Every structure is written in structure tokens, then in C-alpha cells.
């Protein structure tokens, strides 16, 4: 009997919707919540275990199932759960995937089943009201210390601001929603709730690094920033559909890591730098947590004369790392060296992706600005 019940649960995985994790979309879920009636992956099952008052989990293949539990799973399933617990997810709200950090996946699961934010829209107020203020730990630009700073997000002014003192009349920085990006970077920042916010200052990218001890708070900030971007873009592109706008709300970097680079004359030595590929901007920093990039390279499309080559010109000297990459632009060549072949392969793939994609009209304006940089 026990075997038959387990087989009955396994057969439910064949139903449409059940073949992927209900929470992060990972294929072939091996676990199930028998109180919610959803099939989930191993990683999400660990998060469900932390909310036992809402969800109780079992292994589909290894645990014993009783008749009532099998029937419950059969009468529910992932599609039915989605219809209930995700019925009112705002367009701008970030839905994490299996590649996202633990924090985003945990808060999504808690928001759905524990707080039921997408059944009762009034619970969405912290990130959908168009205004948010509070204190966040911000990394100091010069000394690297995290200090408590007051942040204010106002859609009406189209800006995120922060203040160095509680009683300060003027903000230390005003970040325009138009050019703002936010991406979780727990490993880089050294905190599981670490968020990197970038904005343009005098057309150069500026980074700030923030966190909050409370996971819900920082994810609410993240979604409030996405909401502000969404409403800004709806006004800027009145004809665009939600599906067109949602991918533009926040970006994860295409690739980050160390490479060596040399200067424009290619005669000075190669120096190790931290590189971040953000859309078509390749930025390099002395340290991963620097506020400003040391330099930026625009990577256009092949139609505009950009090429990516594996290896370095034969005469190149001075690099310590063996795996070279050459980026040819209409103006000059950029030479990089990677420590491992897999690094080289990943960077080449990231660059190639940009080169293969035709340029958008607004990207020509960005390219023109790069050409006039001192």
C-alpha cells in the first residue's frame, strides 16, 4: 500500500504545472508541501520548513504518504495554488527563479503563503504606496564602514535620496529613478541581505551598498524601487505593455569578476581589476566595492564595428594570466587576460551576447557619449 501511495504522488508530477517547483520554477521537484498541496524543489523545501505553521513538507520518493495526504495533493497542485496564492501579484513585483539568492526566494515564499500578500492587496502597501522612508545600513565610500542612513523614496519627485544626518535638510545624494538599478549582491557585500544600488552621476556609474537586518524590509525596498521604475516607465513609454516594461525594472549583471587589463598604448603592464558587465557597459574597479568605476567600455553591436576575439595580439607582453580576450571597437582594441579558461569562456560569451544584439536607438546616444569621454 505504501508503495502504491508513493507511486500515486509521483504520478501527480506528470500533471501540467506540477513538473516544476511551485516557487522558483526549478525542473523535476522532489519534495511537496502536504498542507499547501504544492510540489517544490529541495532548496525551496528548506524555506518551507522554516514556516511550519503554514507548510509541512515531505520527500516524494523517500517519505511515507497516507491516503488523506495523497488525496489532498491530487485535489490541489501547483496551478491551483498559483491561482489562489498569486492571484494579485503586482506586475512590478520580482518573482525569483532558482538562480536568485536565498533571501529573494525566502521572502517570495513567505509573502505568498505566510503573509498572503497576493490574496490581500492592502498588505502590499509597503512597496506600492509610491513613497517609502526608513533607515538602512550604507557602506561608507572611503572607510568601508557601514553606517545607519535615512533613505527616502518618492515617486512624485522621481528620486531615491539619502541623508547623512537625521536632522539634515539637504540629502547627501539624489538618485533619479530614471537611471536607477538595484541588484542583490550578498557574497560581494558580505551580508545575506546586501543590495547594490547604481545610478548615473555626471553620466558615470556610481555604486552604493546597503542592507537591512530584516529580510522583509530590504526586499520591500527592492520592490518599492521596482514599482517606482515601473510607474516612471509607464509615463515615459505610454504605448508599452507591462510585459515590455517589466524586464527593464532591474537588471542583474551579465557577468562580474577579476581580469587583467592594459592601457590604450598596450605598452604598460597589465593590472588586475574587478569587472562588471552591466548591459552594454563594461566597468572596471580597483576593488569590487568601489563607489566609482576607474573606467567604462561601451560594447556595441557587430553592425557598428565591434568584435570579440579569443586571445591577444602576438606581440602582447606583461600579462600574468594566460587566457586573453581582445575587444575590437571602432576606435581601438581593448586587451584583457583571464586566470582560467572557464573565466575566459564566460566573459567571451557575455561580450558576444552584446555584440550579437542589434543596438537600440537610445544606445547610440550612450555610445556617442563614451566616444567624447576625456
Question: Can you give the CATH number for the domain in which 323 is found?
Answer: 2.30.29.30
Q: The domain spanning residue 3 has which CATH number?
A: 1.10.220.150
Per-residue confidence at 3, pLDDT binned at 50, 70, 90?
A: confident
Domain end call among 201, 225, 247 = 247
Phi-psi region of 318 (alpha: psi -120 to 50; beta: other; left: phi over 0): left
At 120 the pLDDT is: 97
| Residue at which a domain ends, from 199, 216, 247 | 247
Same domain as 230, residue 136: yes
Spatial distance between the Cα atoms of 190 and 239, rounded to a whole number of angstroms = 41
Beta bridge partners of 292: 206
Q: Choose the final residue of a domain: 204, 225, 247.
A: 247
Q: What is the pLDDT of residues 176-190, one digit of tens each?
A: 999 999 999 999 999
Helix residue ranges per DSSP H, the chain: 2-12, 42-49, 67-75, 78-85, 102-109, 125-128, 186-189, 215-236, 242-245, 341-356, 361-371
Examine the domain organization and report whether 141 and 58 are in the same domain: no
The verdict on 305 and 344 lying in the same domain is yes
Residue 203: which pLDDT band, with cuts at 50, 70 and 90? confident
Residue 63 maps to a domain: yes
Pick from 134, 128, 55: nearest CA to 93: 128
Section 209-217 average pLDDT: 98
pLDDT of residue 300: 94
| Average pLDDT of the residues of the chain | 93
Q: Which domain holds residue 24?
A: 1-86
Based on the fold, state whether residues 366 and 292 are members of the same structural domain: yes
- Identify the band that residue 164 occupies on the pLDDT scale cut at 50, 70 and 90: very high
pLDDT of residue 190: 95
Please list the residues that pair with 211 across neighbouring strands. 137
Question: Of all residues in the chain, what percent are helix, strand and coil, respectively (each to 5)?
Answer: 35, 25, 40
Start-end of H helices in 86-185: 102-109, 125-128
265 & 207 share domain: no
pLDDT of residue 26: 96
- Residue 131 and residue 63 in one domain: no
Q: Please, which residues have CB within 8 angstroms of residue 206's CB and are 6 or more apart in sequence?
A: 198, 199, 200, 291, 292
Same domain, 260 and 236: no
DSSP 3-state assignment of 361?
A: helix
What is the reported pLDDT for 374? 39
Residue 371 banded pLDDT, cuts 50, 70, 90:
low
Residues 235 and 260 in one domain: no
What's the pLDDT score for residue 361? 81
Residue 94 lies in a domain: no
Report if residue 79 sits inside a domain.
yes
Phi-psi label, residue 79: left if phi above 0, alpha if psi -120 to 50, beta otherwise: alpha
Q: How many domains does the chain have?
A: 3
- Tell me: do 296 and 341 sit in the same domain: yes
Share of the chain above pLDDT 90, in %: 84
Tell whether the model's pLDDT for residue 233 goes beyond 60: yes
Amino acid at each position: 500500500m505504501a508503495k502504491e501511495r508513493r507511486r500515486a504522488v509521483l504520478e501527480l508530477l506528470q500533471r501540467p504545472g506540477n513538473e516544476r517547483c511551485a516557487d522558483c520554477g526549478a525542473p523535476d521537484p522532489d519534495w511537496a508541501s502536504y498542507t499547501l498541496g504544492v510540489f517544490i524543489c529541495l532548496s525551496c523545501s528548506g524555506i518551507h520548513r522554516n514556516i511550519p505553521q503554514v507548510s509541512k513538507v515531505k520527500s516524494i520518493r523517500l517519505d511515507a504518504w497516507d491516503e488523506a495526504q495523497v488525496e489532498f495533493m491530487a485535489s490541489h497542485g501547483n496551478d491551483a495554488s498559483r491561482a489562489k496564492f498569486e492571484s494579485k501579484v503586482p506586475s512590478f513585483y520580482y518573482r525569483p527563479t532558482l538562480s536568485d539568492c536565498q533571501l529573494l526566494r525566502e521572502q517570495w515564499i513567505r509573502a505568498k503563503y505566510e503573509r498572503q500578500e497576493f490574496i490581500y492587496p492592502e498588505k502590499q502597501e509597503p512597496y506600492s504606496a509610491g513613497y517609502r522612508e526608513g533607515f538602512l545600513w550604507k557602506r561608507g565610500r572611503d572607510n568601508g564602514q557601514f553606517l545607519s542612513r535615512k533613505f527616502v523614496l518618492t515617486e512624485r519627485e522621481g528620486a531615491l535620496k539619502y541623508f547623512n544626518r537625521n536632522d539634515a535638510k539637504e540629502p547627501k545624494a539624489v538618485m533619479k529613478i530614471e537611471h536607477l538599478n538595484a541588484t542583490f549582491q550578498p557574497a560581494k557585500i558580505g551580508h545575506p541581505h546586501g543590495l547594490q544600488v547604481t545610478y548615473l552621476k555626471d553620466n558615470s556609474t556610481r555604486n552604493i551598498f546597503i542592507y537591512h537586518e530584516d529580510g522583509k524590509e530590504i526586499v520591500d525596498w527592492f520592490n518599492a524601487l521596482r514599482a517606482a521604475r515601473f510607474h516612471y516607465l509607464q509615463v515615459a513609454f505610454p504605448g508599452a505593455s507591462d510585459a515590455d516594461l517589466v524586464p527593464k525594472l532591474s537588471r542583474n549583471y551579465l557577468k562580474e569578476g577579476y581580469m587583467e587589463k592594459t592601457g590604450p598604448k598596450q605598452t604598460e603592464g597589465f593590472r588586475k581589476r574587478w569587472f562588471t558587465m552591466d548591459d552594454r557597459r563594461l566597468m572596471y574597479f580597483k576593488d569590487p566595492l568601489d563607489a566609482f568605476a576607474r573606467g567604462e567600455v561601451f560594447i556595441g553591436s557587430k553592425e557598428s564595428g565591434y568584435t570579440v576575439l579569443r586571445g591577444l595580439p602576438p606581440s602582447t607582453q606583461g600579462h600574468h594570466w594566460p587566457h586573453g580576450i581582445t575587444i575590437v571597437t571602432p576606435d581601438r582594441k581593448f586587451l584583457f587576460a583571464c586566470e582560467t579558461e572557464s573565466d575566459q569562456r564566460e566573459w567571451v560569451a557575455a561580450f558576444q551576447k552584446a555584440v550579437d544584439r542589434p543596438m537600440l536607438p537610445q544606445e547610440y546616444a550612450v555610445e556617442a557619449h563614451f566616444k567624447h569621454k576625456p
